[in-house]
Amino acid sequence: MLYSTAGMEASTYTSAGSAIAVRRVRATDIPQVVALDERVTGLAKPDYWQDALSRYGGRRLHDRVFLVAERRGPKSNSTIVGFIIGEVRAWEFGSAPCGWILALSVEPRARLAGVGQSLFKAIAAEFKEAGVNKMRTMVARDNRLHLMFFRSEGMMAGPYLQLEKELD
């Protein structure tokens, strides 16, 4: 499989007979990203995704990544079936430069078809291109779907524990 790299347009691969392309996000994708996120989370957040576009899809593209997985239809129409966002962060929490996966979502009807895996591999390639050799994410303990996915991609528990406190 081939994937896009920073600054390049889409590379494609074929999965279960349908062409899926993983590429950098475009402004015109945001309505579909908002709709996909709403289908998955039950909450529409158009302002948040517009802001995410400017933060991760508009500047510092060498260390910020916002990728979408696009299924191309027979009449050159396309559907966004997943997206992933990440960023190379350095020295926070005492951590050496590392790629963080900040968001991942796959269209429920398109799951188990390799979309998440393609997005994961594509962002790993982007992080390598950016010069880091480790990536990290944070998942809610009760989110078995995401935990199982990241585990299946070889992610293991890291050296940090997340702590929090209710404010009085």
Place of tokens 């585990």: 151
Instruction: Please identify which residue in 43, 96, 157, 167 interacts with other proteins, judged by CB under 8 A.
Output: 157
Measured from the CB atom, is 103 or 155 closer to other proteins?
A: 155
Q: Does 134 bind other proteins (CB under 8 A)?
A: no
Q: Does 26 bind other proteins (CB under 8 A)?
A: no
| Cβ atoms within 10 Å, residue 136 | 16
**Site mask for other proteins (CB under 8 A), range 92-131, x = bound:** ----------------------------------------
Q: Does 148 bind other proteins (CB under 8 A)?
A: yes
Q: Kindly give the interhelix angle for 46-56 and 30-41, rounded to the nearest 10 degrees.
A: 130
Q: Does 165 bind other proteins (CB under 8 A)?
A: no
| Cβ atoms within 10 Å, residue 62 | 13
Instruction: Please identify which residue in 7, 42, 154, 159 interacts with other proteins, judged by CB under 8 A.
Output: 154
End-to-end Cα separation, the chain, in angstroms: 51
Cβ-based neighbours of 4, under 8 Å, separated by 6 or more: 10, 11, 22, 23, 24, 67, 122
Residues that bind other proteins (CB under 8 A): 141-142, 144, 147-148, 150-152, 154, 157
